[in-house]
A and B are shown apart, each in its own frame.
Chain A
């Protein structure tokens, strides 16, 4: 079946065609892409990535990366004989990732050019992060690294997600703010839920650690946890019926909905900056010696209650105003409207 994909670029203020340095629209035609069921689009200064799923096809998941200025697909790395396949020169496929949610596939840009994917390789019990650099030619040894997570936290029954600051792609200074997230301190959170333990394990790692390994000249594609996890923080989290995460720079904020009937939530705020995480209460984790174990109760905790209590849904997020100050944003639905609360 022949399929055509088009990506249009508009100005969010008024819908006019965007005047930036880009190919508009980007068009891609394929002979073997059935109707797409869900997916994700991500944009940086120079790249556009489309991740999409079509569950009735094999493999079910694919990722395309374009050069935003030319509209050409860029070459992405591939591993022959692994669970990651590249059937056409530029198409990255993920046949073993059925457990992913379509709306949060755990694939993100780490910075301007590097993409990170969370996956569980076939026949293994170890989750891994795969980082590929779309600016380096396919097949170059520096273009891909596979970062293994400790095996005791992952198996075929677990579910895992990445939480990352999606709005401020690292290395791309915003043009109208005075203060920018420090890319050398910014964090990435891997949230693993593993039965029968009805809670979660959080791995908090510095994004810079991933990037430095990708930039190194080492030949090994696989990086063991004992090597790259040094300095990471592992945190066990109790089970909660309704919990959401937000990552902003060095901060991780966990929103725990206390009651389904209103919009009261308990908020735990953690600082994982190079100075901040040293103040967290630590425990001797059961896992690798590479990481530090922090107590979930160690974060700053406060109760947040929206003035109106008749809401039925909640979108929490942590954002920055144009003047560089921080606020929490909570959006909820009442019987007749969506309400956004900025705090």
Chain B
């Protein structure tokens, strides 16, 4: 008596999960769609096998928090940052919160910062990732003034700092927030 032919569904769940984790998020979603589209009893034997495999995979996805997370990330238009120390449960919660807030269902919470208008609206403003930088080129000593406003959630205070005037005319600035980097351009004419 010959042994039964090996079948994909016979592999351990851990291995299948590992394989599925290499799929893009939309393919994980497609597995569910395939199952629904083939859920017709008049389909062929081959289709029935497909249903069986799809059901197996769907069950695997449903019971795997990691695969669920992959699917949720895709639906929210996000990818994971593996260098962040958050665990899986925290990441899923963040993803859920992110999607919920974009859907407009979130409660509005307001936080207001008051800044001195006379000094800090003359040059520019940059904000990203909850960090804000307001710049002024109208300080009394002709230097450049900056207000660094950290994320509201951080609870840290606003920091006001300035740099001495450049030798030449200051043209503008840009902020690269991932590195807390401020670039300032000056021009000299001769």
Partner of B172, one of A41, A168, A181, A326: A41
Residue from B75, B109, B112, B113 having most chain A Cβ neighbours under 10 A: B112
CB within 8 Å of B: which of A228-258?
A: 249-251
Determine the distance from Cα of A189 to Cα of B177 in the docked complex, in whole angstroms: 22
Do residues A20 and B115 form an inter-chain contact, with CB atoms below 8 A? Answer: no
Please name all residues of chain B whose beta carbon is closer than 8 Å to the beta carbon of A276 when the two chains form the complex: 77
Do residues A325 and B101 form an inter-chain contact, with CB atoms below 8 A? Answer: yes
Partner of A315, one of B73, B125, B153: B125
Interchain nearest-CB distance for A92 vs B (Å): 17
Partner of B149, one of A20, A176, A337, A340: A340
Partner of A12, one of B102, B131, B185: B131
Do residues B102 and A271 form an inter-chain contact, with CB atoms below 8 A? Answer: yes
Partner of A9, one of B24, B182, B187: B182
Report if A322-B103 is in contact (Cβ < 8 Å); known contacts: A180-B80, A251-B77, A275-B29: no
- Residue B41 interfacial (CB < 8 Å): no
Q: 0/1 per residue, A135-179, Cβ < 8 Å to B?
A: 000000000000000000000000000000001100011111111
CB within 8 Å of A: which of B64-85?
A: 73-81, 83-84
The number of chain A residues with a CB under 8 A from chain B is: 85
Q: 0/1 per residue, B80-121, Cβ < 8 Å to A?
A: 110110100011001101100111100011111111110011
Determine the distance from Cα of A326 to Cα of B172 in the docked complex, in whole angstroms: 28
Interchain nearest-CB distance for A279 vs B (Å): 11
- Residue B165 interfacial (CB < 8 Å): no
Please name all residues of chain A whose beta carbon is closer than 8 Å to the beta carbon of B102 when the two chains form the complex: 251, 269, 271, 326
Do residues A4 and B168 form an inter-chain contact, with CB atoms below 8 A? Answer: yes
- Residue A329 interfacial (CB < 8 Å): yes
Do residues B182 and A329 form an inter-chain contact, with CB atoms below 8 A? Answer: no
Report if A4-B190 is in contact (Cβ < 8 Å); known contacts: A43-B176, A341-B112: yes
Partner of A167, one of B129, B172, B189: B129
Do residues B163 and A275 form an inter-chain contact, with CB atoms below 8 A? Answer: no
Do residues B111 and A52 form an inter-chain contact, with CB atoms below 8 A? Answer: no
Do residues A11 and B98 form an inter-chain contact, with CB atoms below 8 A? Answer: no
Partner of A10, one of B76, B91, B151, B163: B163
Residue from A175, A181, A182 having most chain B Cβ neighbours under 10 A: A182
Q: 0/1 per residue, A300-317, Cβ < 8 Å to B?
A: 101010111000000101
Partner of B117, one of A167, A308, A337: A337
Do residues B171 and A39 form an inter-chain contact, with CB atoms below 8 A? Answer: yes
- Residue B188 interfacial (CB < 8 Å): yes
Residue from A10, A249, A307 having most chain B Cβ neighbours under 10 A: A10
Do residues B129 and A182 form an inter-chain contact, with CB atoms below 8 A? Answer: no
Do residues A325 and B97 form an inter-chain contact, with CB atoms below 8 A? Answer: yes
Interchain Cβ contacts under 8 Å between A and B, 8 examples? A14-B161, A50-B185, A179-B81, A181-B79, A275-B74, A325-B94, A325-B98, A333-B117
A-B interface, 10 closest residue pairs, ranked by CB to CB distance from nearest: A250-B77, A167-B128, A41-B174, A43-B176, A273-B77, A324-B94, A178-B84, A337-B114, A4-B188, A338-B115
Taking A4-B190, A184-B24, A321-B153 as known contacts, 4 extra A-B pairs with beta carbons closer than 8 A to each other, sorted by chain A number, are A5-B185, A8-B186, A180-B79, A337-B114
